[in-house]
Amino acid sequence: MTSGTTGKRTAPHDRQARAVRLGPRSVAALLLVSAVGVAGFGWPFLAPPDASLNAHAQDAPWLFAGLLVLLVAVVAATISESGLGPKAVAMLGVLAAAGAALRPIGAGTAGLEPMFFLMVLSGRVLGPGFGFVLGSVTMFASALLTGGVGPWMPFQMLAMGWFTMGAGLLPAPDRLRGRAELLMLAAYGFLAAFAYGTVMNLAGWTFMNALASNIAFDADASVASNLARFLAYCLATSLGWDGGRAAMTVVLTLALGAPVLRALRRATRRAAFEAPVAFEHEHDDGPARRM
Q: What are 77-99's pLDDT values in tens digits? A: 666 665 666 777 788 889 989 98
pLDDT of 150 higher than 60? yes
Highest mean pLDDT among 13-17, 40-44, 106-110: 40-44
CA angle, 161 then 90 then 270, to 5° = 105
Q: What are 152-202's pLDDT values in tens digits? A: 778 888 899 999 999 999 998 888 999 999 999 999 999 999 999 898 888
User: 99, 105, 104: which is closest to 134 by C-alpha?
Assistant: 99
Question: Residue 75 and residue 33: Cα distance in Å, rounded?
Answer: 7
The predicted pLDDT at position 14 comes to: 56
CA distances from 83 to 21, 29, 193, 203, 269 (A): 7, 15, 29, 32, 17
pLDDT of 54 higher than 70? no
Q: How confident is the model at residue 4 (pLDDT cuts 50, 70, 90)?
A: very low
Q: How confident is the model at residue 277 (pLDDT cuts 50, 70, 90)?
A: very low
Least confident of 22-26, 103-107, 187-191, 261-265: 103-107
Averaged pLDDT, 248-273: 88
Q: How confident is the model at residue 50 (pLDDT cuts 50, 70, 90)?
A: low
The predicted pLDDT at position 18 comes to: 63
Confirm if 186 and 121 have CB atoms less than 8 A apart: no
Question: Residue 291 and residue 286: Cα distance in Å, rounded?
Answer: 9
Question: Residue 159 and residue 164: Cα distance in Å, rounded?
Answer: 9
Q: What are 83-140's pLDDT values in tens digits? A: 666 777 788 889 989 988 887 776 555 567 888 999 999 999 988 888 888 998 898 8
More confident position, 183 or 72 = 183
Question: What are the DSSP calls for 120-135, one per residue?
Answer: HHHHHHH-HHHHHHHH
Q: What are 199-258's pLDDT values in tens digits? A: 888 877 877 666 567 888 777 778 888 888 889 888 888 888 888 889 999 999 999 999
